[in-house]
Structure 1
């Protein structure tokens, strides 16, 4: 008998918790929507290192978006690992309860 005993009908992930996906969606929405709200930053002042606000505000969003996307990726990946571990633990529990050899 195979160790995993996985068929095509066997689930590969356990039940999802919605909160990591909601937080990830909010982070991604902020990274997309806030830079698109041009009326918020369509002005010349204040200047930073000689650059008008319009330009340095957009450049400020480059690292911020990278951080937000990275945090979103980390949240979704951690949730996926948790869900896969839940299925693996359930499969191991069935093998242990059934008395099958590992």
Structure 2
């Protein structure tokens, strides 16, 4: 069945499944960070304020490193660059808008 023939309900269901899977992967990335780089994980959590945001940050591409995510940098063995990215982020407490953080994208 082509995409044009699919029902919106099917598409919405697929999108929900992908979103759930993505959140699970983000959580898994943070779990891996906590087990392999606990000090970095703790600093990230303190900086961004919660696990969900930390998972998103670690998986988000950053222009400063050619579009690589911190997860990719760590896979390449470049922990120092991840610390540098984190050092460039504005902590939640210092932010005027408590719902957002400047995460050095």
Q: TM-score by structure 1 length?
A: 0.32
Q: Of the two, which has the highest radius of gyration?
A: 1
Q: TM-score by structure 2 length?
A: 0.31
Higher relative contact order (CA 8 A, sep 6+): 1
